[in-house]
Amino acid sequence: MNSAMNASNTQPSEIVTEFRDDGRVAIVTINRPHRRNACDLAAWTDLRDRFRAFAAERGALQLVVLTGAGGHFCAGDDILAFRSVLSDPVAADAYRAVIQQAYAAVQDCPVPVIAAVQGACVGGGLSLAMCCDFRVGDGSVRAGVPVAKLGLMYPTIQLVRLTHLIGLSAARRWLFSGDLVQAEEAYQAGFLDALSADDDPVAAAMAFGRPMMDNAPLSIAGIKLQLNAIAAGQLDAARDAIAEATRRSDQSEDYRNAATAFAEKRKPTFVGR
């Protein structure tokens, strides 16, 4: 396992980040088109570290778009890569832990994260998209969780997320059948928040998120913390963190600026402090 992790530090990353709009927008691309962007250990590790860095060093960042190269979002975990560690239970558990850490890093990112979805959005890729705040797709989207066709189970935490998005009955149908859902059905079910008519879901995701970039970063970060705790049924565990986020917002320069702007009947400018 250590040798696999070390290898990820010496090879070029397949998680590519491009900053736009003076650093206010980050486009994160899973660049493994030869595997329909199914992630191996190195890719999951780099994805986790990229999103952890956003949380630690946010700077001017106000929006993240997560997408995949070559016409696909993500086909989940790279089965061939995972198979190589299955004979070692410790290595397999460590591999799974990195995947869960990647999901958590995406979900915990303090700015809005929008999945720009094309093509395959399957299994672990569907889980990754659900960890984003929103999902914008085009007509090529094929989404689903074919675990019943592989003799596997889907992690409970992902079932909770899916049920929140599309409801219990639809989740049963998606999981029991294992079939991939077409773009229009994924939109009607509530998995996709927007369905773009053009073939550039990144541009559509940026347009979807643009209005959010005008609002107070501390407010959005705090609201995300609240909503994530509600969705996970962990409000009690998050109570202290929510109280601290509320205190920061109440005492922020942004709140003072907004109050002054309201009195002067003008649009406030937020700086995230």
Q: What is the pLDDT along the chain (273 residues), one digit of tens a residue?
A: 333 333 445 678 999 999 999 999 999 999 999 999 999 999 999 999 999 999 998 889 999 999 999 999 999 988 777 777 767 788 888 988 999 999 999 999 999 999 999 999 999 999 999 999 999 999 999 999 999 998 888 889 899 999 999 999 999 999 999 999 999 999 999 999 999 988 899 999 999 999 999 899 999 999 999 999 998 889 999 999 999 989 988 888 778 878 877 777 788 878 777
Residues 248 and 169 in one domain: no
Residues 209 and 228 in one domain: no
Residues 121 and 238 in one domain: no
Residues 177 and 72 in one domain: yes
- What is the per-residue pLDDT for 78? 81
Is the Cα torsion angle 50, 53, 59, 64 positive or negative in sign?
Answer: positive
- What is the per-residue pLDDT for 265? 76
Residues 7 and 112 in one domain: yes
Residues 64 and 111 in one domain: yes
Domain-embedded: residue 226: yes
- What is the per-residue pLDDT for 268? 80
Domain-embedded: residue 33: yes
Domain-embedded: residue 175: yes
Residues 68 and 193 in one domain: yes
Residues 132 and 221 in one domain: no
The backbone torsions φ and ψ at residue 63, rounded to the nearest 5 degrees and listed phi first, read -155, 140
Domain-embedded: residue 47: yes
Residues 223 and 103 in one domain: no
State the pTM of this model.
Answer: 0.91
Residues 181 and 242 in one domain: no
- What is the per-residue pLDDT for 25? 97
- What is the per-residue pLDDT for 3? 36
Residues 98 and 201 in one domain: yes
Domain-embedded: residue 18: yes
The last residue of a domain, from among 197, 214, 231: 214
- What is the per-residue pLDDT for 223? 94
Domain enclosing residue 131, as ranges:
2-214
- What is the per-residue pLDDT for 208? 97
Domain-embedded: residue 138: yes
Domain-embedded: residue 268: no
Coil/strand/helix, residue 7: helix
The structural domain count of the chain equals 2
Residues 224 and 135 in one domain: no
Domain-embedded: residue 269: no
